[in-house]
Amino acid sequence: MSEPLVFFDVDTQVDFMVPTGRLYVPGAERIVPNLVRLMNWALEHEIPVLSSADAHAPDDPEFKIWPPHCVVGSAGQRRIPETQFADAVIIPSRPGAFTPPARWIGQFIIEKPTYDTQDNPNFDDVLRAVGRRRAVVFGVATEYCVRADALTLRRHGFPVDLVVDAIKPITEEGGRKALAEMTAAGVRLVTTEDVCEPGA
């Protein structure tokens, strides 16, 4: 590969990805084959995967806006099996909960209380430790957490590729606006095929 990569797997949790989930993103299950391909590619090529995860308290203020979802310890807060590595490292949303690994391989699940993974107090330390890499972003939902994380990564100076056939919006209009905003910020649009090819 021409430059080191880090995959950024956004919120591929049961409550968002499965039709019976508490805050299901319409059509999310249709991107699962591409998620599988991306996660397998990362595993095979020792590309680190940073996975964001909503982790809400039962009385989270966000539930005044959205239905209760991804409550810590609930079935809906888990990742779908296709995006969960057996030996994933959890980085809770509390100061000092991150220790840089000896090697950046495998999956690191960054828990967060809001749309933006930067609200985990360890996030900046994680980005500094992972070093300068091209970030390959995928997951749900396009106009909320995917948008927030892609723009945050750009603000931190990361080149960002957004995998357009491995994301889903809540509404088509919201998705279009988010894509326009992300591309204006320098995000490059790619496909799963672009990523999972020798020399990609």
pLDDT digits (tens, 9 = 90+) for 147-193: 999 999 999 999 999 999 999 999 999 999 999 999 999 999 999 99
Both structure tokens of 2: 């021409």
pLDDT digits (tens, 9 = 90+) for 50-97: 999 999 999 999 899 989 999 999 999 999 999 999 999 999 999 999
Per residue in 103-149, pLDDT tens?
999 999 999 998 889 999 999 999 999 999 999 999 999 999 999 99
Q: State which fold the 5-195 domain adopts.
A: Rossmann fold (3.40.50)
Question: How many Å apart are CA 10 and CA 180, to the nearest integer?
Answer: 19
Region 34-60 average pLDDT: 96
Residue reference for tokens 């892609």: 150
Phi, psi (deg, nearest 5) at residue 136 = -105, 110
C-alpha atoms less than 13 angstroms from C-alpha of 49 in its C-beta half-sphere: 31
What are the structural domain ranges in the chain? Answer: 5-195
Helix residue spans in 58-185 (DSSP H) = 123-130, 147-155, 172-184
CB atoms within 10 A of CB 78: 14
